[in-house]
Amino acid sequence: MTEAGYLVEVDPSEVDEPEPRPGIATADYVANLAWCKASAVARRRGSGLVLAADTACAVEGEILNKPMDRADAERMIRLQEGRDTEVFTGLCLYRADRNVWVGTVEVSIVRFRVLDDAERNNFLDSNRWEGKAGAYGIQDRDPFVSIAQGSHTNVVGLPMERLESILREFPILTS
């Protein structure tokens, strides 16, 4: 955000990020989490514009959240190898003093190449998978993943193009 010229103050929501319920659509899961985070901060602060986002990956409808441990990260990486993975980011902008909010979900597609055992183990040993939806971060410039369709910033976790569009489309949020 600051790289894009926005003045921001970080205020963690402290909202739990539970594992998705069976059968929930990935878009619904991330949209709900983004709204829960934004509304929690908006209620606590009482004024200002609050931005919250949440990202998850999905392969054939299976939601890949943040891995619990190395074994879970390996399961996620193996599942994505040689396939396209959908990356969903729920975004919510909440104007606290007016109780007005706008939410959206952005979707991108990431392509994974197949890794050999040494590459996979090297990646897992690096712990770069920790705290990252789908067990990877495209911002880490890992050579086994590339964007097939959509926004790089969405895959990182905050779709800046969509954020800027919402700010233009809904002046009530910033006026």
* Separation CA 48–CA 97 (nearest Å): 7
Position 140 scores a pLDDT of 84
Domain total for the chain? 1
**Which CATH number does the domain housing residue 113 bear?**
3.90.950.10
Query: Where in the sequence numbering do the catalytic residues fall?
Result: 54
For 163, the token pair is 């954020």
Judge whether 92 and 52 are in contact, CB under 8 Å. yes
Does any domain span residue 45?
yes
- Where the chain has pLDDT below 50, the residues are none
- For residue 45, give its domain range: 26-173
Does any domain span residue 150?
yes
Position 136 scores a pLDDT of 92
Question: What is the value of pTM for the model shown?
Answer: 0.91
Position 61 scores a pLDDT of 87
Does any domain span residue 82?
yes
Does any domain span residue 7?
no
Position 5 scores a pLDDT of 85
